[in-house]
Amino acid sequence: MRHLLPWGIFALSLLLLPWLFPSVLGISILNEMAIAIVFALSYNMLLGQGGMLSFGHAVYFGLGGFLAAHAMLGMEQDGPVFSVTLIPLVAGIGGLLAALLIGSFSTRRAGTSFAMISLGLGELLAALSLILVGFFGGEAGISGDRSLGPDFFGFDFAQDRQVYALAAVWTFASTLLMYLFTLTPAGRMANAVRDNPERAAFLGYRVQRVRLLSFVVSGFFAGAAGGLFALHNEILSAQSLSTANSGNVLLMAYIGGIGFFIGPIIGAVLLTLINSVLSHYTDLWLLYLGISFVLTVMFLPQGLTGLLMMHVAPWRRGLLHTLLRPYLRTAVPALLCVSGLLALLETLHHQGEAVIFLGISLPGGQASNWLAIVLIITLAALDWHRSLPALRAAWQRATRGETP
């Protein structure tokens, strides 16, 4: 029963969130989150579970999306053919077929070679999408009306709320299926091939076939996510299959934590939030996102989930509270230092203009101000550094169970 609990929480959150955030913007963000979750999970099926670093995963997302857009367009022209609820399925099958075609040669090797092929194909398709105007719609993209399908138990999917219902069901089902995949022999062998392809071959497995299977399943869910995206936006442009979109999904999975099933979910939720909320507060949010990503790769290779999981051991020992004081002690100078850096970056960005930062007005272009900020950063950094040994010691006591 215990392993059903997370699924209950997941289903309940999907169910309750639209009531907590009923505004148009709220529902729109929730839709984007649901789509991002499916996309990021499908990506991690390659990176985290199969050891395949892809820089072109948006290809399957985009192709699925364009297929969905064409399906909607077709219904606009020829009348309702099949239910709109099945559009993600159509898109998924499109993604699956594309993955089968491309995977048949790209999965021969993992590592750098795979990464390069995925990048090359991503760029190739992005460039082609601007040439093949008939299918990709050129600069304008392809738009379709999602409300023209046959009536589905009174739903015509004209409103975002109804689309959310559809996206939530698809997201829950996709997440469950992708989780179950990790429990199948195919999913476990994907881990084995990630770790040691040669040994897997000597156990009688064709390594390429193991990778291809993951790749194709991942392509299906990426395509389905693209289909949901097309339903949500009712327009699809070349942006969706660009390498920038591929990079975005890598960020989601990595920041969330590629070593855990739940990691990409956390990453997808967080990045969608940052994307839609933080961008209202600062022009520099993409820079901050990039810096956080690089810092994650350097200091939290297991992502945010890994950071959370580190606390399980102290919690089981009942020593979590012993970490509170050292954490607070470090947090104060750390926060001061980081906000100092942010203030510096913001004033630099606004070159000479006044900046309102954290409610404080910082007149730009005054040397004394800059000096003050730099001084604060330096002092805070020094104090931060000084607080670390105590934190480290507290950690050791808490994880190894040694009492002070």
Please, which residue, 188 or 317, has the CB nearer to another protein? 188
Decide if residue 373 touches another protein (CB under 8 A). Answer: no
Taking CB under 8 A as the criterion, the residue among 12, 22, 79, 113 binding another protein is: 113
85 Cβ contact partners less than 8 Å away, ≥ 6 residues apart: 152, 166
Residue 104 CA to residue 391 CA, distance in Å, equals 50
Decide if residue 386 touches another protein (CB under 8 A). Answer: no
Least distance between another protein and beta carbon 157 (Å) = 28
Least distance between another protein and beta carbon 47 (Å) = 8
Cα-Cα end-to-end distance for the chain = 38
Please, which residue, 134 or 154, has the CB nearer to another protein? 134
The site map against another protein for 132-151 (x = CB under 8 A) is xxxx----------------
Decide if residue 105 touches another protein (CB under 8 A). Answer: yes
Taking CB under 8 A as the criterion, the residue among 11, 86, 201, 334 binding another protein is: 201
State the alpha helices, DSSP H only, in 79-196.
87-106, 111-131, 133-136, 160-182, 185-195
Please, which residue, 25 or 128, has the CB nearer to another protein? 128
Decide if residue 221 touches another protein (CB under 8 A). Answer: no
Q: Judged by CB under 8 A, which stretch of 199-207, 220-228, 356-364, 377-385 contacts another protein?
A: 199-207
Least distance between another protein and beta carbon 343 (Å) = 14
Please, which residue, 118 or 171, has the CB nearer to another protein? 118
Please, which residue, 87 or 216, has the CB nearer to another protein? 216
Taking CB under 8 A as the criterion, the residue among 4, 5, 20, 183 binding another protein is: 183
Cα-Cα-Cα-Cα dihedral sign, residues 286, 288, 291, 293:
negative
- Which residues in the 13-72 window bind another protein by CB under 8 A? 47, 51, 53, 55
Please, which residue, 294 or 388, has the CB nearer to another protein? 294
Please, which residue, 210 or 231, has the CB nearer to another protein? 210
- Which residues in the 239-278 window bind another protein by CB under 8 A? 243, 247, 250-251, 254
Give long-range contacts, CB 8 A cutoff, 24+ apart: 308-314.
Answer: 309/260, 313/398, 313/399, 314/395, 314/398, 314/399
Which DSSP string do the residues of 226-286 spell out, in sequence order?
Answer: HHHHHHHHSEE-GGGGSHHHHHHHHHHHHHH-TTSSSHHHHHHHHHHHHHHHGGGT-TTHH
Least distance between another protein and beta carbon 400 (Å) = 16
Taking CB under 8 A as the criterion, the residue among 6, 111, 389, 401 binding another protein is: 111
Report the DSSP beta bridge partners of residue 235.
143
Least distance between another protein and beta carbon 150 (Å) = 26
Quickly count: other Cβ atoms within 10 Å of residue 61's Cβ.
Answer: 31
Decide if residue 194 touches another protein (CB under 8 A). Answer: yes
Nearest-10 crossing angle of helices 243-256, 263-277: 120
Residue in 172, 166, 206, 211 with CA at minimum distance from that of residue 191: 211
Cα-Cα-Cα-Cα dihedral sign, residues 295, 249, 217, 175:
positive
Least distance between another protein and beta carbon 355 (Å) = 13
Decide if residue 131 touches another protein (CB under 8 A). Answer: yes
The site map against another protein for 338-367 (x = CB under 8 A) is -------x--xx------------------
Residue in 272, 223, 277, 227 with CA at minimum distance from that of residue 248: 272
What dihedral angle (degrees, nearest 10) is formed by the CA atoms of 71, 73, 79, 83? Answer: 40
Please, which residue, 157 or 260, has the CB nearer to another protein? 260
What is the total count of residues that contact another protein (CB under 8 A)? 74
Cβ–Cβ < 8 Å for 166, 231: yes
Q: Judged by CB under 8 A, which stretch of 16-24, 74-82, 118-126, 372-380 contacts another protein?
A: 118-126
- Which residues in the 284-323 window bind another protein by CB under 8 A? 284, 286-287, 289-291, 293-294, 297-298, 301
Residue 284 CA to residue 279 CA, distance in Å, equals 8
Decide if residue 210 touches another protein (CB under 8 A). Answer: yes
Quickly count: other Cβ atoms within 10 Å of residue 81's Cβ.
Answer: 12
